[in-house]
Amino acid sequence: MFKRGFNKIYMKVLWVAAKLLPISKPTMFIGKDSSVELCRSIALMGPKKVLIVTDAGIVNLGFVEMLSSELEKWSVSTECYSRVTPDPTYDQVESGAVLYRESCCDAVLAIGGGSPIDCGKAIAALATNVKPIKRLTGLLKLRKAPAPLFVIPTTAGTGSEVTVAAVISDPITHKKTPILDHKLMPVAAALDPVLMQGLPSHITAQTGMDALTHAVESYISTNATPETDRYALAAVKLIAKSLETAVSNGGNLEARLDMALASYYAGLAFTKASLGYTHAIAHTLGSYYGVPHGLANALVLPNVLAYSKNSAASRLANLAVVIGEPAGGDNAEAFISWVRDLRQKLGIPDTLESLDEGDIAGIARQACIEAVWNYPAPRYMEQQDCERVIAELLPTTAD
């Protein structure tokens, strides 16, 4: 009971903080070949040497070569740090910042999925705040503005081009810690569907479900505002229209662009309205079993929505209307069913093979701690509630 009361008060404090903090938005370049436009804009803004932060896969696709030659056309030279791995680590950030300084760079361009973008944000922060990276983790620890940061996402899900967080892992304990600061917002970003065409279908599906979870959790958040509602509803509409097509036909540029926009809008929504228990449980499943973030969200989202249904019925009903359900009837249930159906159509399972029944109490404990400090969810979960929601993911054993 004490925790529930504390959660309510603390979430109000976060709501006020979100209103008071000067959270800007990046200048956006959107559409086919917008990454080329972004390169021109970088040159116009003054940088002379840009550190491109990415991973080996993006280098192999030729995107770094393309961006370097575009920048060189405008007399901007480049250096590349391409050793980013999934869940970037403190030492990767520190190596990238050393390369930035030794190469006399004056801006960072991060290209890739969530990991290169998080690593790029952290390198930009460390470039100007010279101290051990661990001391930058936590809330509002950046004294100086990061190096000018430009971003090109090649997946549509994290929304990290518009978020004020970068998650970095300890290479020894594997514990993930965020740097949370409004100064981390990129200067400009490009949503270029051409660079997303080659994304494998299962990653398109999982990252798309991450974007859907951002939109839905921010929409049913008790800290939602009319502004975050507009972004969340637009994101859900675009995902309902185009996620299946982006998965089945990755070369469809219209569907790719819709999903890139959906991820962007959902990012704008959750940066201010925050998330909920789906993310708390998904993060914990990631730390226990290495479940990819989008997959973990897809597994958990319908179960958390079913738990929250009575407390968020009218909000869920609005979402049902947005995806084309006729008004009237149990529309909250209709929306939850739509999420389950979409997940099935995308080939995502509804149970987690690696889930060990003996771990459920520990997973629930960790998830509830994350939620009580971070998420203005419409219905509070006690330990036993959370355990029940997680247990629904146990594989059913045939008789």
* Least Cβ distance, residue 94 to Fe ion (angstroms): 26
Of 125 and 298, which CB lies nearer to Fe ion in the complex structure? 298
Where would I find the H helices in the chain?
Answer: 2-20, 34-45, 56-60, 63-73, 90-102, 114-128, 201-220, 226-248, 253-273, 277-289, 293-308, 313-322, 331-345, 360-374, 383-391
**Does residue 118 interact with Fe ion by CB under 5 A?**
no
* Least Cβ distance, residue 297 to Fe ion (angstroms): 6
Of 87 and 210, which CB lies nearer to Fe ion in the complex structure? 210
* Least Cβ distance, residue 145 to Fe ion (angstroms): 26
* Least Cβ distance, residue 179 to Fe ion (angstroms): 16
Please give the size of the binding site for Fe ion, defined by CB under 5 A. 1
Encoding tokens for residue 26? 């990046």
In the beta sheet, which residues pair with residue 187? none
| Residues within window 194-253 making contact with Fe ion, judged by CB under 5 A | 210
For the chain, the distance separating the N- and C-terminal CA atoms, rounded to the nearest angstrom, is 40
Of 210 and 387, which CB lies nearer to Fe ion in the complex structure? 210
- The angle subtended at Cα 183 by Cα 14 and Cα 114, nearest 5°, is 90
Nearest position to Fe ion, beta carbon: 210
Q: Are residues 99 and 81 in contact, defined by beta-carbon separation less than 8 angstroms?
A: yes
Of 43 and 300, which CB lies nearer to Fe ion in the complex structure? 300
CA distances from 219 to 26, 47, 325 (A): 22, 38, 18
Of 66 and 165, which CB lies nearer to Fe ion in the complex structure? 165
SS3 300: helix
Of 188 and 269, which CB lies nearer to Fe ion in the complex structure? 269
Encoding tokens for residue 123? 């390198």
The amino acid at 291: V
Of 192 and 210, which CB lies nearer to Fe ion in the complex structure? 210
Q: Are residues 274 and 223 in contact, defined by beta-carbon separation less than 8 angstroms?
A: yes
* Least Cβ distance, residue 140 to Fe ion (angstroms): 21
* Least Cβ distance, residue 213 to Fe ion (angstroms): 6
**Nearest partner of 54 among 155, 141, 188, 159, judged by Cα:** 155
* Least Cβ distance, residue 293 to Fe ion (angstroms): 6
* Least Cβ distance, residue 111 to Fe ion (angstroms): 20
Of 40 and 202, which CB lies nearer to Fe ion in the complex structure? 202
**Nearest partner of 153 among 145, 162, 164, judged by Cα:** 162
In the beta sheet, which residues pair with residue 330? none
List interacting residues with Fe ion (CB under 5 A).
210
